[in-house]
Amino acid sequence: MKVQNLLKKGINELNHKKVEDAILKARMLLEHVLQIPKSCLSLHLEEEVAMENEQKFGQLIQRLTQGEPIQYITNQQCFYGLDFYVDSNVLIPQPDTEILVEEVMDYVRKINRKTKILDMCTGSGAIAIAIAKQANCEMTAVDISEKALKIVRKNAIQNEVKIEILQSDMFEKVTGNFDVIVSNPPYIETETIKSLPQEVKNEPIIALDGGEDGLDFYRILVDKARSYLQNEGILAVEIGFNQKREVMKLFEKFGFCEVYCKKDFANHDRVIVGKWRK
């Protein structure tokens, strides 16, 4: 079967199963199977596909129709201009989280010296690696999941950065003081998870569930961060679109100053930053 015919077959199957962005996802899967560079499939439409690859493509299409995120199927996700390996052991980095990276980078540029940064709940390591790639810093990436930290190591090597990797239940094994503590913690309410799209529910529950009100990890972060931040250091966190008021109240309750919120590309509240003064 020719590439163009196999592509059409895949698109039809995805449309039949009401999979969103069927054309884009079918193209991405076929490029992955045929090992064709991104956006270059059109140059190969008249070529014949080996039976082995035809069968593999069909299997991947089926996985997609069953709600598995395409990033887990291809083990690829682009974040902040870098390529990351992802699988079902880590949350898939999303473009809105780049806002969090930018806020940290703005702070680092302003203080204009080598900084110490802690990325709590690092997951795939996307935030830590994106910052370490461009900042003059000592980066420590922390997660409770050993499987996640194996992926962090893989991504650090792939993106040619050196970071410290620490397995810890939040701050349990953390030592030292930092100029920045950054985190994209689990923040979805436990009950809300049940109503999420299947693709999201296929991501690790440990990276999604923020407790009954979604604020469990913020309470730990704003409380414990005070003991690990340098004077004039910042805590920067990602939040859910409806959590600005409650998270800002937590920052202020625990003594952070100059607290502000930054919106994402869709104009939703997305990042909270607060400064710690001793």
User: Which of 31, 66, 101 represents a domain boundary (last residue)?
Assistant: 66
- pTM for this predicted structure: 0.93
Question: Do 132 and 250 fall within a single domain?
Answer: yes
Q: Note whether 12 and 110 are same-domain residues.
A: no
- Give Dmax over CA atoms of the chain in angstroms: 68
Quick one: average pLDDT of 84-99? 97
Mean pLDDT for the chain overall: 95
Domain that holds residue 112: 88-276
- Residue 40: predicted pLDDT: 87
- Residue 39, pLDDT > 90, answer no
Question: What value does the mean pLDDT take over residues 146-152?
Answer: 98
State residue 278's pLDDT score.
83
Residue 209 DSSP one-character state: B
pLDDT tens-digit series, residues 181-218: 999 999 999 999 888 888 888 889 889 989 999 999 99
Question: 238 has which bridge partners?
Answer: 271
Q: Are residues 94 and 60 in the same domain?
A: no
Q: How far is CA 222 from CA 30, 45, 199, in A?
A: 45, 54, 31
Domain contains 73: no
- Per the structure, the count of domains in the chain is 2
Answer yes or no: is 79 within a domain.
no
Same domain, 268 and 206: yes
CATH code at position 235: 3.40.50.150
pLDDT at 178 over 90: yes
